[in-house]
Structure 1
Amino acid sequence: MQGINYTVGSIQRLLLRTAVPMLLASLVNVITQLANVFFMGHTSQSVLYVLSLYIPVSFVMIAIIEAMQLSVQVAVARSRAGGSRVFTQLFVHMMGSAALLAILTGGIVMLLTPALTWFYAVPADIAPMFTLYVGGMMIAGVPAVLAAVSGAALRGLGRAQAASWNSVGMAVLNISLVYVFVSMFGLDLKGIVYANMISSTLSLLISLIILFVRKEFLMEHFAFAKKHFVALRHVGIPVFISYCMIFLSTFFFNKIVSHFGEGTVAGFGVGYRIQTMAILPGIVIGSAIGIMINHNLQSPHRPRAYASYRQGLLQSFALYAIIAIVIWVWREPLTAFLIEDAASRAEAARYLSVVALSYIGMGPMMTTLLTMEQSGRGYQALFLNAVYFLLIILLGWGMTRLFNQVIYFYGVIAGMNVIGISFFLPFMRRLRRDYVEPSAYESGITEEESTLTNQGYSTQI
């Protein structure tokens, strides 16, 4: 197997070489999502309302995507020395698991859609539109999950650029298809479903072709092996639960905001979607750090694992200082460009006026959480996520009901983003103790490596 060698050379250059292509793909994804909001924001408030209600539901499929792709990325990076045969067996196991999870989860969500309609008190004339959109996106989510897994396999092999260019091309195609289906054919929400289905399927096919052409994937007899699922236990399950918590939290976020009317829900949905897209660079940087750490677990290279997090966190802070200021300064032109309805536009701008500057803390917080999830500390990240969202729900619900103003809920979100900075230093000290201090690595194996080895999955495969 060939690709980037993460055990030698400048750490900063390697992080940039890995993160920049991934960030490019992430930024293209941001543009894709903004394009979707733009096309929907110039149709009707009802369409924008459905799009906002769907935000919590979307995190159910995102939970599978993130859990599977992070598990695959870590597992492939740690088993890279085993060659194409080991990779092929691992890849087949992960793709099968991803397909099964996506189909089962999508089916459950579709069955529960009437309950969601009742919980949000969706008007009778809008309910069919909401039901059809949720069902369509769950179906389109199946190839999206498989495409994400195949792209993660490429990144784990050190082929981040190939995976990123694939994502860029598919994002451009997605935007073009949404324009054609929505603006030209007038399909509204159906246009997004069709565009996602087509672009995800093509992305999956391209990733598979790259794996075959590069001879990473071999055609051989499949043999079930339990050891290939260990990464799901130590990485995937905590990540999946974390995103399920995001689903639950945004589920209640919408319930808190729905008290103030459809226009507020629509505006908040656009503002929160912008925030969701804004965290993608932080996730990308954390993912790049995770790749660096998992390629430097052997004793001679372990200090590079700690240095990777330290330098990556500095890059995240610098980037989010720019992102936060730009969104805060340009919040009104941005929302005016995306949304035609005046009330929804004003609410989205008000949300960003309160929350945007707190992204300086939120971005590095996401970088740290992703690093924790990919370095054997997924359950610690899960606990921090749970505390973060629980406090927002409880304080936000209490403040809005006490003062009957939604802006207090926005203030709670901003405050929690700032408070999230507090756990950077403890985590950095933990990494230094694990990877730098001689007592932590003189035996050449850490606690999380020992756990994986005991489960039949050695980091030295």
Structure 2
Amino acid sequence: MQGLDYTSGSVNRLLIRTAIPMLLASLVNVTTQLVNVFFMGHTSQTVLYVLSLYIPISFVMIAIVEATQLSVQVAVSRSRAEGSPYFTQLFAHMMGSAGVLAIVMGGLVMLLSPLLSWFYAVPSDVRPLFAFYVAGMMAAGVPAVLAAASGAALRGLGRAQAASWNAVGTALLNILLVYWFVSVIGFDLKGIIYANLISSTLSLLISVLILFVRKELVSVRLAFVQRHLIALRQVGIPVFISYCLIFVSTFFFNKIVSHFGEGVVAGFGVGYRIQTMAILPGIVIGSAIGILINHNLQQAHRPRAYESYRRGLMQSFIIYAVISVVIWIWREPLTALLNADPVSRTEAARYLAIVALSYLTMGPMMTTLLTMEQSGRGYQALLLNAVYFLLIITAGWVLTRVFNQVVYFYSVIASVNAASLFCLIPVLRMFKREYAGQPVPGGTVLEGQEVIDGQSYSTQS
């Protein structure tokens, strides 16, 4: 197996070489999502309303995508030296698990769509469109989950550029397909479903083809091996629960703003979608840090693991200093470009005016959470996520009901984002204790120490 060697050379250079292709792919995906909003935002407020209602539901498939791809990426990174036969077995186990989970969860959401319509008090004339869009996107999510898993396998093997170029190409195809189906044929929401089905299926086929051409996938007799699923349990489960938490939380977010009418819901949906896209660079950097950490777990390389997080966090702060200011300054032209409805456009701009500058700390926190999830601290990351959303929901619900103004909800989001800065210092110290601790001669394990590859390392600062 070939690819980047993460155990030697400049940490900064390796982070950049890993993150930039992934960031490029993410930026193209951002563009894809924004183009979808652009096309839908120039149809009708009803279509934009359905898109906004779908945001929390989308996190069901996103939960599976993230849990699967992070599990695959971690498992492949840690077992890279095992050879192609082992990788083939591992890949088959991961893809099978991902496919079954996507089908089961997607089917469950389809069955529950009438309940979702009731929860949101969707008007009766809109309910058929809402149910159709939910069912179609759940179906399109199955090949999307498998495509994400195969791309993560390429990244875990050190082939981030191949995975990213695949993502870029198929994302551009998605944009063209959405344009064709929506603007030319006039399919509206159906056009997004068809475009996602075609582009994600093609992405899956390309990733698998690359693995075969590079002889990473070979002919072996498949057999169930329990240890292949360890990464799913250690990484995938907490990540999946974290995104399910986002799924539940965004339901309450929409419930809070729905008190103020369809126009506010649609505008909040546009602003929140921009925010969701804005955090992707932080996720990408955290994923790149995770790859470096998992390639440097041996005794001789562990200080590089800590250095990877420290330098990656600095890069995240620099990037989000730019992102937060740019979105805040250009909020009105951006929302005007994406949305033709004056009411929802004004609401989206108001949301970004209050929240955008807080991305300076929210982005690095996302980098930290992704790093924690890929380094065996998924449940700690889950706890931080739970506290974050609980604070926003509780304070946002109380303040909007007391003062009857939605801006209080937006202010709560901005305040909690800013407060996340106080979580970064303890996490930085935690990584330093574990990865940059000094080995204790003789291998004797004392309280506050751990054994790594036969050597005892201090876990105290």
TM-score (norm 2): 0.96
| Cα separation, 2, equivalents of 1:443 and 1:159 | 36
Contact 1:283 1:367 in 2 (8 A): yes
Change (3 A) 1:236 1:365: same
Change (3 A) 1:448 1:187: farther
| Cα separation, 2, equivalents of 1:151 and 1:442 | 43
Q: Which residue of 2 aligns with 1:73?
A: 73
Q: Which residue of 2 aligns with 1:142?
A: 142
Change (3 A) 1:63 1:449: farther
Q: Which residue of 1 aligns with 2:197?
A: 197
Deviation at 1:247, TM superposition (A): 0.2
1:36-435 matched pairs, under 5 angstroms: 36-435=36-435
Deviation at 1:201, TM superposition (A): 0.2
| Cα separation, 1, equivalents of 2:265 and 2:401 | 16
Change (3 A) 1:278 1:308: same
Change (3 A) 1:87 1:341: same
| Cα separation, 2, equivalents of 1:31 and 1:143 | 20
Q: Which amino acid aligns with 1:346?
A: T
Alignment coverage as a number of residue pairs: 450
Contact 1:151 1:163 in 2 (8 A): yes
| Cα separation, 2, equivalents of 1:435 and 1:65 | 29
Contact 2:140 2:196 in 1 (8 A): yes
Check if 1:30 corresponds to 2:34.
no
SS of residue matched to 2:385: helix
Q: Which residue of 2 aligns with 1:436?
A: 436
Q: Which amino acid aligns with 1:162?
A: A
| Cα separation, 2, equivalents of 1:355 and 1:296 | 37
TM-score (norm 1): 0.96
Change (3 A) 1:335 1:444: farther
| Cα separation, 1, equivalents of 2:69 and 2:272 | 24
Contact 2:63 2:240 in 1 (8 A): yes
Deviation sequence 1:196-215 (CA, Å, 0-9, x none)? 00000000000000000000
Contact 2:336 2:345 in 1 (8 A): yes
Q: Which amino acid aligns with 1:55?
A: I
Q: Which amino acid aligns with 1:69?
A: Q
Q: CA RMSD in A?
A: 1.5
Deviation at 1:441, TM superposition (A): 11
Deviation at 1:439, TM superposition (A): 4.2
Change (3 A) 1:64 1:449: farther
Contact 1:376 1:448 in 2 (8 A): no
| Cα separation, 1, equivalents of 2:28 and 2:254 | 27
Deviation at 1:423, TM superposition (A): 1.1
SS of residue matched to 1:217: coil
| Cα separation, 2, equivalents of 1:375 and 1:251 | 29
Once the two structures are aligned, what percentage of the paired residues are identical?
73
Q: Which amino acid aligns with 2:423?
A: F
Unaligned runs of 5+ in 2: 454-461
Contact 1:182 1:189 in 2 (8 A): yes
| Cα separation, 2, equivalents of 1:180 and 1:125 | 27
The structure with higher relative contact order (CA 8 Å, sep 6+) is 1
| Cα separation, 1, equivalents of 2:327 and 2:432 | 34
Contact 2:317 2:363 in 1 (8 A): yes
| Cα separation, 1, equivalents of 2:430 and 2:206 | 40
| Cα separation, 2, equivalents of 1:179 and 1:69 | 29
| Cα separation, 2, equivalents of 1:421 and 1:414 | 12
Q: Which residue of 2 aligns with 1:4?
A: 4
| Cα separation, 1, equivalents of 2:297 and 2:444 | 8
Contact 1:434 1:440 in 2 (8 A): no
Contact 1:70 1:235 in 2 (8 A): yes
